[in-house]
Structure formats: C-alpha cells, structure tokens
Amino acid sequence: MTADPIHIVGGGLAGSEAAWQAAEAGAEVVLHEMRPVRGTDAHQTDRLAELVCSNSFRADDWEANAVGLLHAEMRRLGSLILRCADAHQTPAGGALAVDRDGFAEAVTRAIASHPRIQLERGEVAGLPPRDWTSVIVATGPLTSPALAEAIGRLTGEAELSFFDAIAPIVHAETIDMDVAWRQSRYDKAGPGGDAAAYINCPMDRDQYEAFVDALLAGPKSEFKNWEHVPYFDGCLPIEVMAERGRETPRFGPMKPVGLTNPHRPDVRAYAVVQLRQDNALGTLWNMVGFQTKLKHGAQTEVFRTIPGLEKAVFARLGGLHRNTFINAPKLLDAQLRLKAEPRLRFAGQITGVEGYVESAAIGLVAGRLGAAERMGAGLQAPPATTALGALVRHITGGHLESGARSFQPMNINYGLLPPIEAPPRTEGGKKLGKLERTRAKKRAVADRALADLAEWSAPAHAELAPGP
C-alpha cells in the first residue's frame, strides 16, 4: 500500500460499507476489526457486518416507505451492504430479510478480496495514532471500552452516551389540534422567545386511570443480561414511574399545572402529556418524559389512547438500550468530521442513527466524503431532500437541542425530509382521497429524492446502478 490510507475502525455495517465506498472511489483503505481478537457482548462470529439480532432490513418499498427509499438510494450508489443483502434474501413479504450467514460471509469476502482494502484484525484501544491522518470511527453501539473512554475524554463525557433513553416521536400532522393545543407551562418563553413551545394533550381522571392501568399491564421488553442499563432519575421509563406510584407520572412529566386548554378553558385537565418540537423542520414532536420499555405494538396501542393522539403516526417508538453514541449535532460538522479533531470522521450507530440500514447509510456517505477529501475533490453530503442527506442533516444539526441528552438515536422517516405538496388531483383530474394523497405525497418525496441524488452523484459517479 503506497498512498496514505484512510483508516476505518470497526468492520460492522457502517465500517464495511465505508471501506467499500472509499476503495471504490480510489482511496487506499485499512479496515481495523477487533473480532475475533476481542469480542463484544452481542456478536457471535468473526465475520464483518454481522447482524446481531433480527435478520431484517425492513420494508423494501421505495415509493411508500422511508427505509425502502434509503435502500433504493444506496443501491443506486453501489452499496456493498445492499448488494450482499439482495443476493442473500430470504422470503419476507414486502421486507428485505437476509440469510445472516450468507450475507455476512459475502460482505467479508468482498472486503477481503478488494485490492485497495487491507483488513487488520485487532482492537484500536484508544484514540487512533496521530499519523493516521484520515480516520473513520465506525465502532457501533458496543464500541470497546478503551476506545469509548478515549472518545469521551476528547468530546467531553457529557457528550458521549452509553445508553439510549428513547421517547416516542410523532409526526406533527397526525396530532389532532382540535383536542391538543400549543402552550408552554405558565406561558414561559424559552431561549428562542417562544411561549407556546409545547403541544399539550389533556386527560380527565378516568382517562388517566385507564392509561396508568394500560401502562402497568402492557408487555415490556427485557434487558439482555449483559446490558446493565441503569435507571437514571431524569429518564425513568414512564411505566416504571407508574409502578412506583399511580400518581407519580402526574407529579412528573404529566403534571397539569400552568396550562389552560383553550378548547375547554373552564375544565382543568387532570393530567397532560406534552410534546416538544424535535427537528428544525417542525415535522417531528417528541413525547416529553415518555422513554419506555413497552413493546412496540403496546406503545402504539397505549399511546393512541391519549386524547389528541388517537390517530398519531409514530416516526420513532420508545426504547432503552445499551448503546454508545455521541452528541453528533453538537460535535460533528456537515462532513461528519469531529469539529475538535477533523481527521476523525464518524459513521454508523455511534453517530446517533438507529438500525442496520441507517448505520450502513452513514457509512456509505462517510466513505465517499473521506475518499473525496483524500483525493482533493470537494464533495458535500447528499442534499437534505434525499433520505441519505436527511439522515446526515439530522445528525449534524437538524435535531433541535432541548437540554442535556435530548439527542437520541433516530431511524429514517419521512419527517426528516422537507415536506412536499402532493397534487390534489390525478393527471386525469380526479380528486384524490386522503389515503391516495398520502401515497402520492410519499411518491413525490421519493421522486424528488432520486432525482436530487442522481444530480448529486452525476459527475463523480456516472455509472449508476439500475433504478429501484
């Protein structure tokens, strides 16, 4: 290997994709993977891109599903992860599921046989050496402790999390504002001057009691025995709060004080669920204090009993896991580089995206940006109208910070993409129904994304793979 290489730390979903993209773009790459020299609590093999749990890459419909759109964009950019997933599919209806062994074996073989990639097995047990001038850190949710501690020292410990505490996020347009209303407690203006920063959903006593019963009875996910997730007082799961006392949520995140319901000013709510704006676009709202271990199906069912959220569509459901990730919106620049030390670029789950596909997607972008920088070409991240660009935008500034640890891992969803108007009628002039309009809107978002992606990738990457 002659030219100064890009060092990629971690050969998971993100690191393997980053290595492939950088090498295909002409850069020399050294990929450092610690397994099998050192294991993690979840991985079982020495293969690259091992799937530690489910074998699903989720919905594969580019016209009607945001993760399907991400698949389509990645395929168009020659993603190794998508190519190997496509080659090792198992039947899963509209989802893309894979034979995990065949998939990981194919990724490992492709990386090992690439002439510009050198695979080194061993832990990078601290900050990468100074003479590694271009590095992509893609060590994932189970980053080894020695490296995680070094990153924590560099970023400031408050900016590195070892656990996520995820509250559900709702698409704004699905909140019933004939029931809910905008107001901050005591009309207090925040730093931005907004005295109506929250959306409030009121409950009467019967609704609250039924809600607490449902929280207590709902099925919960178990922690893995190695996770050792502590409950911090500031982010107790809502159902654990209810277990501590039926009234505890009402004296915590659901307290009804300082709020007047303009729809029924003479009735004082018994409890209130508040939602706070989560992204700069204003399309996503976070249920304040609602981190939870309830299973996903139960969350949808229970949270839709909240007045105003009966028809809520969730962009993200809640959770609590062992997970290493940085406060990316504060720490990273638009090139995914650490502002404090730009030779270090980050990719994958450690940047605060969630999921196999999202992690690989950030790896894809980081690999291309790293290679372009190495080769002196100016390349920006994909536009925010693409699913790839929307994810990058979210983790590099799209999320609105609202207090310590407000940034929590995020899946791709339509709320991250700039809204678009759907045509009210078909080309033939027929008025579209609500469902048809939603479908048309998603299709319009997808068409815009693929057109903008083609333009972004055109000069440097003229040979696009066939369309979705």
Ligand X SMILES: Cc1cc2nc3c(=O)[nH]c(=O)nc-3n(C[C@H](O)[C@H](O)[C@H](O)COP(=O)(O)OP(=O)(O)OC[C@H]3O[C@@H](n4cnc5c(N)ncnc54)[C@H](O)[C@@H]3O)c2cc1C
Residues of this chain that interact with ligand X (CB under 6 A) are 9-15, 32-35, 40, 42-43, 52-54, 123-124, 138-144, 147, 348-350, 355-356, 359
Nearest to ligand X of 111, 215 (CB atom): 111
Nearest to ligand X of 284, 360 (CB atom): 360
280 burial type by CB count under 10 A (0-12 exposed, 13-18 middle, 19+ buried): middle
Peptide bond into 342 cis (omega under 30): no
The edge-to-edge listing of strands for the beta sheet with 341-346 is 117-121, 29-33, 6-9, 135-137, 341-346, 337-338
To ligand X, the closest distance from the beta carbon of 57 in angstroms equals: 7
Nearest to ligand X of 277, 323 (CB atom): 323
To ligand X, the closest distance from the beta carbon of 144 in angstroms equals: 4
CA distance 22 to 5: 10
Nearest to ligand X of 44, 54 (CB atom): 54
CA distance 464 to 425: 33
Nearest to ligand X of 56, 385 (CB atom): 56
At 169 the three-state DSSP class reads: strand
To ligand X, the closest distance from the beta carbon of 155 in angstroms equals: 16
To ligand X, the closest distance from the beta carbon of 67 in angstroms equals: 9
To ligand X, the closest distance from the beta carbon of 108 in angstroms equals: 11
To ligand X, the closest distance from the beta carbon of 444 in angstroms equals: 27
Backbone torsions φ then ψ of 368, nearest 5 degrees: -70, -40
Structure tokens at 20: 């492939």
Q: Where are the beta strands (DSSP E) in 225-307?
A: 271-277, 284-287
Nearest to ligand X of 146, 375 (CB atom): 146
Spatial neighbors of 351 by CB under 8 A, at least 6 apart, are: 325, 326, 328, 332, 336, 362, 395
